[in-house]
Amino acid sequence: MPRIQPIDPSAATAEAATHLATAAKMFGGTPNFALTAANSPATLNALLSLFANIGATSLGATVGEQIAIAVAESNGSGYCLSAHTAIGTAYGIHASELEAARRGTSADPKTNAILRLAADINNMRGDVTNSALDAARNAGISDTEIVEVVGHVALNVFTNFLNNVSQMNIDFPEVAPYATA
């Protein structure tokens, strides 16, 4: 049972209802994370803005989903791990790459370097070493892409924490983090 009750769209305030309608358009439905975030219309608006803007980075949607999976696994967010595994599957990411993303790796060298950097940013709370940045740059990751990785990690930490705090019901095919499986 969720520790924070999702907002019933029919009972939402005008501002929350507007943001929930936007979420429904963005995601093809209104997932529980949006209904939960709607308890604070400002928070839901911020999340939707982050999703729209971070989703438009040069890293692309599939790498963004792989980052989301790596961060969700690391943070023990079953909701986000389930959601992004389903989305990654819909984007055509091979099951072996989805599994590798849970470990923060990829068969593609550049994606592997991006996921390693994302894991370092998440695990070190942003206090990455010079050698981590050098490794990313040596793998061909530009400063623009480094900043975009930070953005992806920040968005996913935001949703991971919201989902972990609220313990919302998972409305995607469930994938349990390794630590809880």
Tens of pLDDT, residues 126-174: 999 999 999 999 999 999 999 999 999 999 999 999 999 999 999 999 9
Q: Is the pLDDT of residue 181 over 70?
A: no
How much is the pLDDT for 143? 98
- Res 129: pLDDT: 96
Q: Which element (helix H / strand E) includes 133?
A: helix 130-138
Burial string for 38-64 (b: 16+ CB within 10 Å, else e) reads: bbebeebbebbebbeebeebebeebbb
Locate tokens 């892409």: which residue? Answer: 145
**Residues near 17 by Cβ (< 8 Å), separated by ≥ 6?**
9
Q: Give Cα 170 to chain centroid, integer Å.
A: 14
Alpha carbons 81 and 69: distance in angstroms, whole number: 5
- pLDDT for residue 180 is more than 80: no
Query: Could you report the per-residue pLDDT of 20-79, keeping only the tens digit for each?
Result: 999 999 999 999 999 999 999 999 999 999 999 999 999 999 999 999 999 999 999 999
Report whether pLDDT(86) > 60.
Answer: yes
Distance CA 106, CA 103 (A): 9
The tokens for 170 are: 């998972």
The dihedral through the CA atoms of 88, 90, 96, 99 has a sign that is positive
How far apart, in whole angstroms, are the C-alpha atoms of residue 117 and residue 175?
A: 24
- At residue 179, the pLDDT reads 82
